[in-house]
A = this chain, B = another copy of it.
Amino acid sequence: MIYRRVALIGLGLIASSMAHAMRAGGLAGEIVGTAKSAETRATAKALFCDRVTDTAAEAVQGADLVVLCVPVGAMAALAEEIGPHLAPGATVTDVGSVKQAVIAAVAPHIPADVHFIPGHPLAGTEHSGPKAGFASLFQNRWWLLTPPDDADPAAVARLRSLLEAMGANVDTMDAPHHDLVLAVTSHTPHLIAYTMVGVADDLRRVTDSEVIRYSAAGFRDFTRIAASDPTMWRDVFLTNKDATLDILGRFTEELFALQRAIRLGDGDHLHAYFTRTRAIRRGIIEAGQDTDAPDFGRVMAPVKGG
């Protein structure tokens, strides 16, 4: 047991996966949860919480670890609500996809005798909600922490030991760097996937059924990303605005260069570009961050009538 009582605020994919992983590993004495929706609380009570409370203020009482698992845009109000109820010596962390905005929203409400160690698990699926969680979600995934310079080393080490016990690899960095790296590896790719799916949806010359039917040629990978939680992603783009716009600018520059090569029939430019990008894929597989099985090792349904 690493924490005596863990309070999970917001009970979606990440919180439910954490609860399953903590239960599987015997890492928490008691897991208390809360969420705005009564239905979500009931699901959590049935599936993975020892106890649920109606409010966040109640949930955090006596907890030595509090995990904020709400959308980034809801962090400020939540922090204001729980601030006065946090136990001295407790650790507060979060799982938000941006870090500078979360720190600005949360830190002012955290008492001096409570440790605030912001975090971000690079794990998730396109499914959301309390039924989507599973214990192995964090296995071999990175969990980034952005502790302030004056963070208590013992509190950081304790949180790290919990995350590692759930299967994660833990790394620390400063918050601005986190937000830039994630703009490249996550936020901009998501925006692009959303855009491509929106374009396909818009095209009246190509019927919906054709886009769906023939999606296996590449498009379907984009739709998985673009099926992620809308509220979470709205908040990501609103709160990591500068880094996302910066990387988007780079993206459109490159895209225009390739578009020009297509228009001019410059095959050498295209071939050289497409060859260079192959190497990155190899790096990701060698780093254990994706499977080398063809097509992600998808298992497809049996043949159906055409």
Contacting B at CB under 8 A, from A193-222, are 193-203, 205-206, 208-222
Query: A72-110 toward B: CB 8 Å interface, digit per residue (1/0)?
Result: 010000000000000000000000010000000000000
Contact across chains for A142 and B297 when beta carbons are under 8 A apart: no
Query: Does chain B have a CB within 8 A of A226?
Result: yes
Query: Does chain B have a CB within 8 A of A153?
Result: no
Q: Of A18-26, A49-57, A264-272, which stretch is located at the interface?
A: A264-272
Q: Of A32-40, A58-66, A285-293, which stretch is located at the interface?
A: A285-293
Q: A262-B238, A263-B245, A274-B234 are in contact. Are A280 and B226 (CB under 8 A)?
A: yes
Contact across chains for B281 and A198 when beta carbons are under 8 A apart: no
Of the residues B134, B251, B283, B291, contact of A195 by C-beta under 8 Å: B251
* Distance (whole angstroms) from the CB of A263 to the closest CB of chain B: 6
Q: Tell me the A residues contacting B by CB distance below 8 Å.
A: 73, 97, 122-127, 132, 134, 139-142, 144, 164, 167, 169-171, 180-182, 184-203, 205-206, 208-228, 230-231, 233-235, 237-238, 241, 244-245, 247-248, 250-252, 254-255, 258-259, 262-263, 265, 267, 270-271, 273-278, 280-284, 287-291, 293-306
Contact across chains for B223 and A192 when beta carbons are under 8 A apart: no
* Distance (whole angstroms) from the CB of A148 to the closest CB of chain B: 21
Q: Majority SS of interface residues in chain A? A: helix
**Residues on B with beta carbons closer than 8 Å to the beta carbon of A184:** 199-200, 203, 206, 211, 219
What are 30 of the A-B contact pairs (CB < 8 Å)? Answer: A122-B214, A140-B301, A140-B304, A182-B217, A185-B200, A185-B219, A187-B218, A195-B251, A198-B273, A199-B247, A199-B250, A212-B283, A212-B287, A221-B224, A221-B225, A223-B284, A224-B295, A224-B296, A226-B274, A230-B271, A235-B267, A237-B262, A241-B262, A244-B262, A248-B259, A288-B300, A290-B300, A291-B298, A297-B297, A297-B299
- Using CB atoms, name the residue of chain B closest to A237: B262
Contact across chains for B198 and A214 when beta carbons are under 8 A apart: no
Contact across chains for A192 and B201 when beta carbons are under 8 A apart: no
* Best-buried of A212, A247, A299 by chain B (most CB within 10 Å): A212
Contact across chains for A202 and B250 when beta carbons are under 8 A apart: yes
Of the residues B167, B223, B296, contact of A297 by C-beta under 8 Å: B296
Contact across chains for A284 and B212 when beta carbons are under 8 A apart: yes
Q: A139-B303, A186-B219, A191-B258 are in contact. Are A212 and B280 (CB under 8 A)?
A: yes
Contact across chains for B270 and A233 when beta carbons are under 8 A apart: yes
Q: A218-B189, A276-B201, A281-B223 are in contact. Are A212 and B289 (CB under 8 A)?
A: yes
**Residues on B with beta carbons closer than 8 Å to the beta carbon of A122:** 214, 216-217
